[in-house]
Structure 1
Amino acid sequence: MSNNPVGWFEIYVQDLERAKRFYEAVFEVKLEQLNSPPEMKIELWAFPMVKDEKGITGALVKKEGVSSGGNSVLIYFTCTDCAFAAARAAASGGKIMQEKKSIGQYGFISLVVDTEGNMIGLHSME
Protein backbone atom coordinates (compact mmCIF):
# COMPACT_ATOMS: atom_id res chain seq x y z
CA MET A 1 0.00 0.00 0.00
CA SER A 2 1.53 3.31 -1.04
CA ASN A 3 -0.93 5.62 0.67
CA ASN A 4 -2.57 6.08 4.06
CA PRO A 5 -5.18 3.35 4.60
CA VAL A 6 -8.12 5.64 5.43
CA GLY A 7 -9.40 8.13 2.87
CA TRP A 8 -12.71 9.32 4.37
CA PHE A 9 -14.90 8.77 7.43
CA GLU A 10 -18.59 9.15 8.19
CA ILE A 11 -20.17 9.56 11.62
CA TYR A 12 -23.85 8.62 11.50
CA VAL A 13 -26.17 10.74 13.64
CA GLN A 14 -29.86 10.93 14.53
CA ASP A 15 -30.11 14.64 15.40
CA LEU A 16 -27.95 16.47 12.86
CA GLU A 17 -28.23 19.95 14.36
CA ARG A 18 -27.30 18.67 17.83
CA ALA A 19 -24.35 16.71 16.41
CA LYS A 20 -23.14 19.72 14.40
CA ARG A 21 -23.21 21.92 17.52
CA PHE A 22 -21.24 19.25 19.44
CA TYR A 23 -18.47 18.76 16.85
CA GLU A 24 -18.18 22.46 16.02
CA ALA A 25 -17.80 23.28 19.73
CA VAL A 26 -15.37 20.47 20.57
CA PHE A 27 -13.02 21.08 17.62
CA GLU A 28 -13.69 24.82 17.23
CA VAL A 29 -14.51 24.49 13.50
CA LYS A 30 -17.41 25.14 11.14
CA LEU A 31 -18.80 22.18 9.23
CA GLU A 32 -19.75 22.65 5.57
CA GLN A 33 -22.81 21.11 3.95
CA LEU A 34 -22.08 18.77 1.02
CA ASN A 35 -24.55 18.50 -1.84
CA SER A 36 -26.03 15.07 -2.53
CA PRO A 37 -28.60 13.97 -5.11
CA PRO A 38 -32.08 14.22 -3.52
CA GLU A 39 -32.88 10.59 -4.33
CA MET A 40 -30.06 9.48 -1.99
CA LYS A 41 -32.02 10.84 1.01
CA ILE A 42 -28.77 11.70 2.78
CA GLU A 43 -27.49 14.86 4.44
CA LEU A 44 -23.76 15.37 4.95
CA TRP A 45 -21.86 18.07 6.84
CA ALA A 46 -18.11 17.85 6.24
CA PHE A 47 -15.24 18.71 8.53
CA PRO A 48 -12.81 21.31 7.15
CA MET A 49 -10.01 19.98 4.95
CA VAL A 50 -6.70 21.43 3.84
CA LYS A 51 -5.69 19.95 0.50
CA ASP A 52 -2.23 18.42 0.18
CA GLU A 53 -1.80 18.16 3.97
CA LYS A 54 -1.55 15.05 6.14
CA GLY A 55 -4.66 13.36 7.38
CA ILE A 56 -8.17 12.85 6.04
CA THR A 57 -11.54 14.42 6.46
CA GLY A 58 -15.06 13.13 6.72
CA ALA A 59 -18.61 14.13 7.54
CA LEU A 60 -21.54 13.85 9.90
CA VAL A 61 -24.21 11.88 8.06
CA LYS A 62 -27.95 11.57 8.52
CA LYS A 63 -29.36 8.83 6.31
CA GLU A 64 -32.75 7.24 6.36
CA GLY A 65 -32.58 3.79 7.96
CA VAL A 66 -29.05 4.11 9.38
CA SER A 67 -28.71 4.56 13.15
CA SER A 68 -25.91 6.09 15.19
CA GLY A 69 -23.87 4.57 18.03
CA GLY A 70 -23.03 0.97 18.73
CA ASN A 71 -20.51 0.51 15.94
CA SER A 72 -17.04 -0.92 16.37
CA VAL A 73 -14.96 1.65 14.48
CA LEU A 74 -13.01 4.22 16.48
CA ILE A 75 -11.85 7.41 14.78
CA TYR A 76 -9.12 9.49 16.42
CA PHE A 77 -9.19 13.24 15.87
CA THR A 78 -5.90 15.14 16.17
CA CYS A 79 -6.01 17.94 18.77
CA THR A 80 -3.55 20.40 20.28
CA ASP A 81 -4.27 18.95 23.74
CA CYS A 82 -6.75 16.08 24.07
CA ALA A 83 -7.60 17.06 27.66
CA PHE A 84 -8.95 20.44 26.49
CA ALA A 85 -10.93 18.84 23.63
CA ALA A 86 -12.37 16.25 26.06
CA ALA A 87 -13.45 19.04 28.43
CA ARG A 88 -15.17 20.84 25.53
CA ALA A 89 -16.89 17.55 24.61
CA ALA A 90 -18.29 17.18 28.14
CA ALA A 91 -19.38 20.83 28.18
CA SER A 92 -21.14 20.32 24.83
CA GLY A 93 -23.35 17.44 25.96
CA GLY A 94 -20.93 14.54 25.45
CA LYS A 95 -19.31 12.28 28.01
CA ILE A 96 -15.66 11.58 28.81
CA MET A 97 -15.05 7.81 28.76
CA GLN A 98 -11.28 7.97 29.32
CA GLU A 99 -9.39 10.96 30.62
CA LYS A 100 -6.12 12.01 28.97
CA LYS A 101 -3.68 9.11 29.07
CA SER A 102 -0.06 8.84 27.93
CA ILE A 103 0.72 6.42 25.12
CA GLY A 104 4.47 6.96 25.50
CA GLN A 105 6.39 8.32 22.55
CA TYR A 106 3.15 8.48 20.55
CA GLY A 107 1.60 11.22 22.68
CA PHE A 108 -1.69 11.18 24.57
CA ILE A 109 -5.25 9.98 23.99
CA SER A 110 -8.68 10.50 25.48
CA LEU A 111 -12.01 8.88 24.59
CA VAL A 112 -15.35 10.68 24.53
CA VAL A 113 -18.92 9.85 23.52
CA ASP A 114 -20.72 12.40 21.35
CA THR A 115 -24.33 13.51 21.69
CA GLU A 116 -25.42 10.71 19.33
CA GLY A 117 -23.84 7.81 21.24
CA ASN A 118 -20.73 7.48 19.04
CA MET A 119 -17.36 7.03 20.79
CA ILE A 120 -14.50 9.00 19.25
CA GLY A 121 -10.83 9.20 20.13
CA LEU A 122 -8.82 12.35 20.72
CA HIS A 123 -5.04 12.34 20.10
CA SER A 124 -2.43 14.97 20.88
CA MET A 125 1.33 15.12 21.27
CA GLU A 126 1.13 17.30 24.41
Structure 2
Amino acid sequence: MMKNVINWFEIYTSDFNRAKQFYKDVFKCDLIDIPMNSDRHSQMQYALFRKNENKFDLNGALVKIDEAKPGIGGTLVYFATEEITAELGRVETAGGKIIRPKLDLGEFGFIALIQDTETNLIGLRSEK
Protein backbone atom coordinates (compact mmCIF):
# COMPACT_ATOMS: atom_id res chain seq x y z
CA MET A 1 0.00 0.00 0.00
CA MET A 2 1.35 3.42 -0.96
CA LYS A 3 1.27 6.23 1.56
CA ASN A 4 0.88 9.90 0.76
CA VAL A 5 4.23 11.64 0.64
CA ILE A 6 2.76 14.72 2.30
CA ASN A 7 1.57 13.76 5.75
CA TRP A 8 1.06 17.16 7.43
CA PHE A 9 0.38 20.74 6.46
CA GLU A 10 -0.01 24.09 8.16
CA ILE A 11 -2.00 26.96 6.73
CA TYR A 12 -0.94 30.29 8.19
CA THR A 13 -3.47 32.91 9.25
CA SER A 14 -3.60 36.55 10.25
CA ASP A 15 -7.15 36.36 11.66
CA PHE A 16 -7.28 32.95 13.30
CA ASN A 17 -11.02 32.82 14.07
CA ARG A 18 -12.03 34.08 10.63
CA ALA A 19 -9.83 31.42 9.00
CA LYS A 20 -11.30 28.66 11.18
CA GLN A 21 -14.82 29.68 10.19
CA PHE A 22 -13.87 29.71 6.47
CA TYR A 23 -12.51 26.15 6.55
CA LYS A 24 -15.45 24.90 8.64
CA ASP A 25 -17.93 26.43 6.18
CA VAL A 26 -16.25 25.28 2.95
CA PHE A 27 -15.10 21.78 3.94
CA LYS A 28 -17.75 20.98 6.56
CA CYS A 29 -15.11 19.87 9.02
CA ASP A 30 -14.30 20.56 12.65
CA LEU A 31 -11.14 22.18 13.95
CA ILE A 32 -9.82 21.53 17.43
CA ASP A 33 -7.89 24.26 19.24
CA ILE A 34 -4.61 23.05 20.72
CA PRO A 35 -3.39 25.16 23.65
CA MET A 36 0.20 26.35 23.39
CA ASN A 37 1.44 26.64 26.96
CA SER A 38 5.13 27.49 26.67
CA ASP A 39 6.37 31.09 26.89
CA ARG A 40 8.07 30.64 23.53
CA HIS A 41 4.70 29.96 21.88
CA SER A 42 2.56 32.38 23.92
CA GLN A 43 1.49 34.21 20.75
CA MET A 44 0.87 31.04 18.74
CA GLN A 45 -2.64 29.78 17.96
CA TYR A 46 -3.07 26.26 16.58
CA ALA A 47 -6.17 24.33 15.46
CA LEU A 48 -6.10 20.79 14.06
CA PHE A 49 -8.39 19.65 11.26
CA ARG A 50 -10.75 16.74 11.98
CA LYS A 51 -12.28 14.44 9.36
CA ASN A 52 -14.89 16.19 7.22
CA GLU A 53 -18.35 14.90 6.32
CA ASN A 54 -16.86 12.94 3.40
CA LYS A 55 -14.50 11.20 5.84
CA PHE A 56 -11.36 12.52 4.18
CA ASP A 57 -8.45 12.81 6.59
CA LEU A 58 -7.12 16.36 6.72
CA ASN A 59 -3.73 15.93 8.39
CA GLY A 60 -2.81 19.46 9.26
CA ALA A 61 -3.60 22.63 11.11
CA LEU A 62 -4.43 26.32 10.91
CA VAL A 63 -1.71 28.35 12.61
CA LYS A 64 -1.26 31.95 13.71
CA ILE A 65 2.35 32.73 14.57
CA ASP A 66 4.49 35.83 14.10
CA GLU A 67 7.22 33.97 12.21
CA ALA A 68 4.98 32.87 9.30
CA LYS A 69 2.55 35.00 7.33
CA PRO A 70 -0.30 33.89 5.05
CA GLY A 71 -0.62 34.72 1.38
CA ILE A 72 -0.14 33.65 -2.20
CA GLY A 73 3.33 32.45 -3.16
CA GLY A 74 3.93 29.88 -0.46
CA THR A 75 3.30 26.16 -0.54
CA LEU A 76 0.19 25.09 -2.44
CA VAL A 77 -1.90 22.46 -0.67
CA TYR A 78 -4.64 20.54 -2.50
CA PHE A 79 -7.60 19.27 -0.48
CA ALA A 80 -9.24 16.05 -1.70
CA THR A 81 -12.94 16.47 -2.45
CA GLU A 82 -15.66 14.08 -3.55
CA GLU A 83 -16.67 16.45 -6.37
CA ILE A 84 -15.22 19.98 -6.51
CA THR A 85 -18.45 21.76 -7.40
CA ALA A 86 -19.89 21.46 -3.87
CA GLU A 87 -16.89 23.12 -2.21
CA LEU A 88 -16.64 25.78 -4.94
CA GLY A 89 -20.28 26.64 -4.28
CA ARG A 90 -19.47 27.47 -0.64
CA VAL A 91 -16.24 29.46 -1.13
CA GLU A 92 -17.59 32.96 -1.78
CA THR A 93 -20.32 32.70 0.88
CA ALA A 94 -17.59 31.77 3.36
CA GLY A 95 -15.59 34.89 2.43
CA GLY A 96 -13.12 33.36 -0.05
CA LYS A 97 -12.56 33.77 -3.75
CA ILE A 98 -12.48 31.34 -6.68
CA ILE A 99 -9.18 31.86 -8.51
CA ARG A 100 -9.38 29.07 -11.10
CA PRO A 101 -12.66 27.20 -11.65
CA LYS A 102 -12.86 23.44 -12.06
CA LEU A 103 -10.31 22.25 -14.63
CA ASP A 104 -10.40 18.81 -16.27
CA LEU A 105 -7.03 17.00 -16.14
CA GLY A 106 -8.28 13.97 -18.04
CA GLU A 107 -7.29 10.69 -16.39
CA PHE A 108 -5.77 12.64 -13.46
CA GLY A 109 -9.10 14.07 -12.28
CA PHE A 110 -10.10 17.68 -11.70
CA ILE A 111 -8.59 20.62 -9.85
CA ALA A 112 -9.58 24.16 -8.88
CA LEU A 113 -7.83 26.98 -7.03
CA ILE A 114 -9.39 29.15 -4.34
CA GLN A 115 -8.20 31.90 -2.03
CA ASP A 116 -9.16 31.69 1.63
CA THR A 117 -9.99 34.60 3.92
CA GLU A 118 -6.29 34.96 4.80
CA THR A 119 -5.23 35.31 1.12
CA ASN A 120 -3.72 31.80 1.08
CA LEU A 121 -4.03 30.05 -2.27
CA ILE A 122 -5.26 26.47 -1.85
CA GLY A 123 -6.27 23.79 -4.32
CA LEU A 124 -9.18 21.39 -4.57
CA ARG A 125 -8.83 18.02 -6.30
CA SER A 126 -11.32 15.29 -7.14
CA GLU A 127 -11.54 12.18 -9.30
CA LYS A 128 -14.83 13.34 -10.87
TM-score range, shorter chain: 0.7 to 0.9
**Separation (CA, whole Å) in 2 of partners of 1:8 and 1:67:** 18
Give the Cα separation in 1 of the matches to 2:58 and 2:23.
16
CA contact (8 A) 1:86 1:111 kept: no
Alignment deviations for residues 27-79 of structure 1 (CA, whole Å, 9 cap, x no partner): 001111123233213111111159xx986510000012422113331100011
1:103-122 alpha-carbon deviations (Å, 9 max, x no partner): 11121111000000000000
Q: How many residues align?
A: 123
Aligned Cα RMSD in Å?
2.1
Counterpart in 2 of 1:32?
32
Q: Percent same amino acid at aligned positions? A: 36
2: CA distance, partners of 1:19 / 1:63:
13
Matches within 5 A, 1:43-122: 43-49=45-51, 57-122=59-124
Provide TM-score, normalisation by structure 2. 0.85
Q: Distance in 2 between matches of 1:63 and 1:34?
A: 13
Cα distance in 1, alignment partners of residues 51 and 38 from structure 2: 24
CA deviation after TM superposition for structure 1 residue 95, in Å? 0.4
**Structure 1 unaligned runs (5+)?**
none
Gaps of 5+ in 2: none
| 1:37 to 1:68, Cα distance in 2 relative to 1, 3 A | same
AA in 2 matched with 1:82:
I
What TM-score does the superposition give when structure 1 sets the normalisation length?
0.87
Using the alignment, how far apart are the partners of 1:62 and 1:13 within structure 2? Answer: 5
Moved beyond 4 Å, runs of 4+: 53-56
The 1:110/1:21 distance shift into structure 2, 3 A limit, reads same
